[in-house]
């Protein structure tokens, strides 16, 4: 099975996709304008590289194997996305001939430069000399007749058009990686991956339970969880570095190419330690809150906006010597003193934050806070990724029902 981190050459992928679509190496050779032996040579090389048989070849034509059917679905999406990326960049629908002139080295160069921020850093990241990077990068620019790079005081960087093209190219090449994972998984001999971007105040217990259930019968699979801010995860999702974001939705998403799926409503609550004096009061008023120190989220976070509005409405200005976006710091500060902060009710109740308690006696009005999954529009998840999505939905349905029954009881 395939072990190389590099993608197969576009020449080999193009030959396979053409033969798979036409069912004939002869027809494919005519369309690609290369000899039939050259087409067969590319197919042999691709199958050897992937370690699987993709096509059964006979006198009556070429027929896809099970692995071939899976992989051809991905190569079809690859070339559709490459074509759409070029059209969006140049403003013209590319012909087959012009699209075939694009090489994987050109794509790899553009993506590396966009991610590294410049030619020199990209060459260093790829472990090659800078001239070796510049050649394919400039060749792509000349081929498309669009400025992809610009000179700055510190060297060269990608233009806006270059950055967007790099993002689209990265997503397109991700189809090949997903296809490799899928055909490897057919033989149960290699890992497939799921990369989840997790936002603050997302239930880690829910994520852990779903991941544990998924991996219990998917022993060779791998889940990577990355914590960070929404802006960071959105950028990574849009270029294919992660597969899904779990956390508070923007509702609606500021990007047309992202899709949000709400799983549950997760209201904010004022939170303190379990031995806080306010928990002994039958009725807590805003004036009572003013006597205690607050831990504030940093400016720009939705919680900070809500909390600032509440304090203005309540006409209180309690001491707030600490501002932080670090959730673990907030929890530690609450546990070690009579402090108050604004957190997720679900996270406090479901994630078992021992020593913390919600102040249920005081209302915290705010816009509905929906938590769910954010994915790319048109994303085709692998079976492993699709199973994760299904388990998340089922776990939330079960947890919501259980929580409702508990409240009724």
Exposed e or buried b per residue across 201-227, where buried means at least 16 C-beta atoms within 10 angstroms of its C-beta? bbbbbbbebbbeebbeebeebebeeee
Long-range contacts of 207-212 (CB under 8 A, 24+ apart): 207/246, 209/395, 210/388, 210/391, 210/392, 210/395, 211/388
- Give the β-pairing of 61-64 and 356-358: unpaired
At 409 the pLDDT is 36
In the chain, the domains with their CATH numbers are 10-167 (1.10.10.10), 191-265+370-408 (3.40.190.10), 268-358 (3.40.190.290)
Residues β-bridged to residue 378: none
Q: CA-CA distance, 364 to 286, in Å (whole number)?
A: 11
pLDDT score recorded for residue 1: 39
Residue with tokens 């010597």: 321
What sign for the dihedral angle of Cα 292, 293, 294, 295?
negative
Torsion sign over Cα 283, 289, 292, 296: positive
Could you tell me which residues are beta bridge partners of residue 269?
A: 343
pLDDT score for 297: 93
Q: Provide the edge-to-edge strand list for the sheet that holds 258-265.
A: 222-227, 193-198, 244-248, 370-376, 258-265
- pLDDT of 189: 54
CB 238 within 8 A of CB 258: yes
- What residues does 197 pair with on adjacent strands? 226, 245
- Averages of pLDDT over runs of 10 residues in the chain (409 residues) are 63 96 94 94 95 90 94 97 97 92 95 93 92 95 95 87 97 95 75 88 89 85 92 96 95 94 93 94 91 94 92 93 91 94 85 81 88 96 94 84 41
Q: If 0-12 CB within 10 Å is exposed, 13-18 middle and 19+ buried, where does residue 150 land?
A: exposed
d(CA 130, CA 336): 54
Half-sphere exposure of 65 (CA within 13 A, CB side): 13
pTM: 0.85
- How would you write the chain as a 3-class SS string? CCCCCCCCCHHHHHHHHHHHHHCCHHHHHHHHCCCHHHHHHHHHHHHHHHCCCCEEEECCEEEECHHHHHHHHHHHHHHHHHHHHHHHHHCCCCCHHHHHCCCHHHHHHHHHHHHHCCHHHHHHHHCCCHHHHHHHHHHHHHHHCCCCEEEECCEEEECHHHHHHHHHHHHHHHHHHHHHHHHHHHCCCCCCEEEEEECCCCCHHHHHHHHHHHHHCCCCCEEEEEECCHHHHHHHHHCCCCCEEEEECCCCCCCCCEEEEEEEECCEEEEEECCCHHHHCCCCCHHHHCCCCEEECCCCCHHHHHHHHHHHHHCCCCCCCEECCCHHHHHHHHHCCCCEEEEEHHHHHHCCCCCEEECCCCCCCCCCCEEEEEEECCCCCCHHHHHHHHHHHHHHHHHHHHHHHHHHC
Asked if residue 49 lies in contact with residue 132, where contact means CB atoms within 8 angstroms, the answer is no
pLDDT on residue 400: 52
CA distances to 225, 334, 357, 364 from 347, rounded to whole Å, are: 17, 15, 11, 16
Distance from C-alpha of 46 to C-alpha of 10, rounded to nearest angstrom: 10
Q: How many residues does the chain have?
A: 409
């Amino acid at each position: 099975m395939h072990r190389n981190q590099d993608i197969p050459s576009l020449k080999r992928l193009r030959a396979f996709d053409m033969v798979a679509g036409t069912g004939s190496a002869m027809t494919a050779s005519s369309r690609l304008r290369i000899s039939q032996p050259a087409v067969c040579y590319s197919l042999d090389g691709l199958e050897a590289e992937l370690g699987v048989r993709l096509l059964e070849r006979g006198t009556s034509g070429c027929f896809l194997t099970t692995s071939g059917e899976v992989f051809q679905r991905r190569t079809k999406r690859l070339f559709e996305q490459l074509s759409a990326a070029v059209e969006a960049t140049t403003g013209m629908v590319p012909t087959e001939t012009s699209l075939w002139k694009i090489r994987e080295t050109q794509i790899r160069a553009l993506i590396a430069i966009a991610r590294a921020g410049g030619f020199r850093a990209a060459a260093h990241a790829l472990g090659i000399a800078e001239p070796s990077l510049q050649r394919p990068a400039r060749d792509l620019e000349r081929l498309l007749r669009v400025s992809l790079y610009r000179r700055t005081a510190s060297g060269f960087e990608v233009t806006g058009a270059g950055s967007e093209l790099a993002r689209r190219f990265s997503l397109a090449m991700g189809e090949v990686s997903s296809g490799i994972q899928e055909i490897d998984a057919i033989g149960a001999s290699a890992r497939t991956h799921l990369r989840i971007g997790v936002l603050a105040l997302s239930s880690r217990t829910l994520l852990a339970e779903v991941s544990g259930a998924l991996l219990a019968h998917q022993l060779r699979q791998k889940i990577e969880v990355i914590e960070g801010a929404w802006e960071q995860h959105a950028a990574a999702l849009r270029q294919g570095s992660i597969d899904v974001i779990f956390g508070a939705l923007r509702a609606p998403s500021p990007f047309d190419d992202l899709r949000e799926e709400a799983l549950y409503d997760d209201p904010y609550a004022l939170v303190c330690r379990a031995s806080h004096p306010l928990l002994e009061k039958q009725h807590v008023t805003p004036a009572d809150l003013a006597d205690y120190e607050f831990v504030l989220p940093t400016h720009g976070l939705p919680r900070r906006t809500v909390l600032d509005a509440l304090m203005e409405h309540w006409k209180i200005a309690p001491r707030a010597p600490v501002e932080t976006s670090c959730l673990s710091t907030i929890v530690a500060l609450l546990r070690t003193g009579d402090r108050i902060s604004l957190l997720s009710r679900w996270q406090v109740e479901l994630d078992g934050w021992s020593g913390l308690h919600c102040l249920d006696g005081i209302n915290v009005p705010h816009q509905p806070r929906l938590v769910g999954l954010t994915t790319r529009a048109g994303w085709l998840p692998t079976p492993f990724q699709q199973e994760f999505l299904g388990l998340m939905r089922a776990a939330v349905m079960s947890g919501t029902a259980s929580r409702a029954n508990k409240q009724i009881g």
